[in-house]
Amino acid sequence: MSRKIILLAAIVAVMSSVLTVVSLQWTGAINTGKIQVEHVSATPAKQTNYTENMPNVAGLPSFTETAERVVPAVVHIKSTQTNPTRNQGPQARIPDLFRDFFGDQLPQRQGTPQPRVGAGSGVIINADGYIVTNNHVIADADDVEVTLSDNRTYKADVIGTDPSTDLALIRIKENDLPYLPFVNSDEVRIGQWVLAVGNPFSLNSTVTAGIVSAKARSINILREQYAVESFIQTDAAINPGNSGGALVNLEGGIVGINTAIASPTGSYSGYGFAVPANIVQKVVEDLMEYGTVQRGVLGVMIRPVDGNLASEKNLELTTGAYVDSLMPNSAAAEAGIKAGDVIIAVDGMEVTNSSELQELIARHRPGDEVKVTVDRNGKERVFNVELNSREGQPELMADANRELSRTLGAEFRTLDEETATELDIPGGVVVERLYPGKLRRTTQMREGFIITRVNDQLIRNVEEFNEALEGRQGGVLLEGRYPGEPGMQYYAFGMDQ
């Protein structure tokens, strides 16, 4: 009997060992040298909730159709600065070609500066070759080259720039191009899927996906006096080279133009920022129609309202834009708005911070009338405000000679009387902005130069400057000065070059 028990125990032990080995092999605890691959015919996922303007399909969203539609309309931009020393201070003022003619005795230039090449992205916005990009992509360029997604390459002309929003409009000579439409960025919702399309690190036609993570962000990246920062924030990967590329919804409409990243390393860290489509569209329309951006202003200095400011000023609300002070020739002051008011809406659209107020006003031109709702001592009041220009006038400031401005690659304005008096000159023309054109290619001119003479003809305003150069052929000598720098400066170039 004992032998049977021992035999039975032995059989049980053997079977137990066999079952243990089989079990361990099945769970992968023992390495048998074989890898088992499991194929899944469908992605196991739950129904995804979409916003109203997105496809209502089951499972995770597919970005393939959107990418196929969008990629051909996003371009690579190469900007070349042939004279990187231009912004480092005064250089030789007259090229050798003009020395005998103008008689200026200057030392010879030393050495040849090496070209500096930058890269970015752009978005084709109509079939005739108009492309929107960031101003910082082409700001210092002497030459702008555009490469399409099919590798066709073109030289681009700069139509205009707007450093206040970091936008620029360029054009290539081609027709029947693929392009993307704008969408109403007011309707973009936090949590909505978006794609970022561009050329990060010169990796052409790169598409990344993410969501809109915030709106009306100000990150203090633009250094312009009248900067407008009300960015759409996204977690779609954006890196150097994406600047000027498209942020689109799943229908392929332009939600914004990718502009900046927030990163301690200079590369993607989860936060990217795009200029909203509504601002982009208004800037583009102005540059096409007027040659310069027509920006209406309220004429107020503002601060965002928060809990601390509410306590300090005894306010009954913790959102809005607090009117800290009023500027000279203020349109808001003329309408009846006072310092201490809190702006809470524009044309019925809620204002929760100063960035939103900047965005809403930046969509308007001088002369436009807006309804501004303010909270004054706990009571709401509505004011009809006719917006002014930066100069305090309600009239549009159209470029009197757009073709000349594009040829020279500059924007000009008449010197104000106060500055003219300080400099003890009868007047002049300020070179407000430089972009690719004759002045940048052939001279060392810097922004801020005040032109006082053209070929020994006295110049006091933009009208006289345009008349002096209208139909001009051959050599041109510009005389003038820089505020804060001693002596006169001279720049020469050829109008028929």
The catalytic residues are 136, 166, 243
In this structure, what DSSP letter does residue 182 have?
B
Q: Is 314 left (phi over 0), alpha (psi -120 to 50) or beta?
A: left
As a whole number of angstroms, the distance between CA 388 and CA 330 comes to 8
As a whole number of angstroms, the distance between CA 147 and CA 165 comes to 24
8 A C-beta contact, residue 255 and residue 188: yes
As a whole number of angstroms, the distance between CA 263 and CA 266 comes to 5
With tokens 């002096």, the residue in question is 468
8 A C-beta contact, residue 305 and residue 342: yes
8 A C-beta contact, residue 217 and residue 188: no
Residue type, 162: D
Q: Quick count: other Cβ atoms within 10 Å of Cβ 34?
A: 6
For the residues of 280-326, what is the DSSP string, one character each?
HHHHHHHHHHTSS----B--EEEEE--HHHHHHHT-S-S-SEEEEEE
As a whole number of angstroms, the distance between CA 151 and CA 356 comes to 39
Name the nearest CA neighbour of 256 among 143, 129, 125, 387.
125
Structure tokens at 292: 């310069």
